[in-house]
Amino acid sequence: MPTDVRCRVETDESSGLVRLTGVLDRLEVGTVRAGLLARLCARPGPVVADLTGLEMPDPAARGVFAEVRREVLDWPAADLLLCDPTGTVDGAPAWPTLEGATAGLAAAPMAAVVNADFPPAVEAAREARHLVTEGCRRWGLDELAEPGCIAVTELVGNVVAHAHTAMTVRLAPRDDTLHLAVRDHSSRQPTFAGPAPVDTVGGRGLLLIDTVARRWGSSRVPDGKVVWCVLYAADEAGLGG
């Protein structure tokens, strides 16, 4: 290992395991955050961070794991689990051994995730709507098909209009909610200033998402961002009643 590398993040491409070795201090928090988010972007499902070979002398730096978990919990089918032999890290499910953490990963309920890559073309919105419609039908969330299509149209449309990069559309159910996310490769963050004037042309994408989704947000990740939203079946039932 080069002497100037204090903390290394190594990904097992065949599984949801990320190994961290070296020394985690405040200077290395960004490295750890970026490495974990990169893996969570690339692979649907929970990820295990193995801290067995990691020294953590700075208690403040340990908070990066809780921070990353909070960041991804509303993403489709995402979570962060830990193998932490020290028992000193809070804010994420943890096991003292890798065997235990791996068992926890295997036991984690994996949603029927839908994941698809698209170019930044207008046709991507139509194909994404098809994914949402079929997913909601399969998962018994028919009432969320229409608002889900509205949301994914705007998420994809923002990439086509502003990011101009390839994108990954991901969706998954969780109980009676639908989680949607679009990952692109632009660092430009979406902005939302509230309802637009009635005579405004365009610029209503985030307003529509804010209307149909109970929660939404944008996460900075290596080489871009993830814009996500969460829709609740109960909200649609209330409108229908």
Q: Is 136 exposed, middle or buried (0-12, 13-18, 19+ CB in 10 A)?
A: buried
The pTM (predicted TM-score) of the whole model is 0.89
Mean pLDDT of 184-213: 69
Report pLDDT for 201.
Answer: 34
Span 29-56, mean pLDDT? 95
Rounded (10°) CA dihedral 71, 74, 78, 79: 60
- Name the percent of the chain lying above pLDDT 90: 79
pLDDT of residue 3: 47
pLDDT at residue 14, as a whole number:
84
Give pLDDT tens digits for 74-107: 999 999 999 999 999 999 999 999 999 999 888 7
Specify the 3-state DSSP secondary structure of 65. helix
Average pLDDT over residues 11-34: 94
Q: Which residues pair with 178 in a beta bridge?
A: 173, 231
Q: Which CA distances in Å does 68 have to 25, 56, 188?
A: 16, 17, 20
Supply angle C-alpha 33, 207, 123, rounded to 5: 80
If one compares 170 and 238, the residue with the highest pLDDT of the two is 170
Q: DSSP for 173-223? A: EETTEEEEEEEES--PPP---SSPPTT--S--HHHHHHHH-SEEEEEEETT
List residues bridging with 20 in a β-sheet: 9
Identify which has the larger pLDDT, 112 or 231: 231
Tell me, what's the pLDDT at 197?
A: 43
What band does 2 get if pLDDT is binned at 50, 70 and 90?
Answer: very low
What integer is the mean pLDDT of 133-147? 97
Write the DSSP symbol of residue 230. E
Give the C-alpha distances (Å, rounded to integers) separating 143 from 38, 42, 95, 105, 178.
32, 29, 38, 31, 10
Of 14 and 182, the structure prediction assigns the larger pLDDT to: 182
Note the pLDDT of residue 28: 96
Which of the 8 DSSP states describes residue 45?
Answer: S
Q: Would you list the DSSP string of 71-139?
A: HHTTSTT--EEEE-TT----SS-EESSHHHHHHHHHHS-----EEEEE-SSTHHHHHHHHHHHHHHHHT
Mean pLDDT in residue range 8-18: 91
pLDDT of 158 higher than 70: yes
130 against 12, higher pLDDT:
130
Q: What is the pLDDT of residue 200?
A: 37
Q: Across the chain, which distance is largest between two alpha carbons, in Å?
A: 64
Task: Find, among 85, 18, 34, 99, the residue nearest to 55 by Cα.
Answer: 85
**Residue with the larger pLDDT of the pair 190 and 214:** 214
Residue % of the chain over a pLDDT of 70:
89
Determine how many CB atoms are found less than 10 A away from the CB of residue 126: 12
What is the H or E stretch that residue 42 is in?
A: helix 29-42
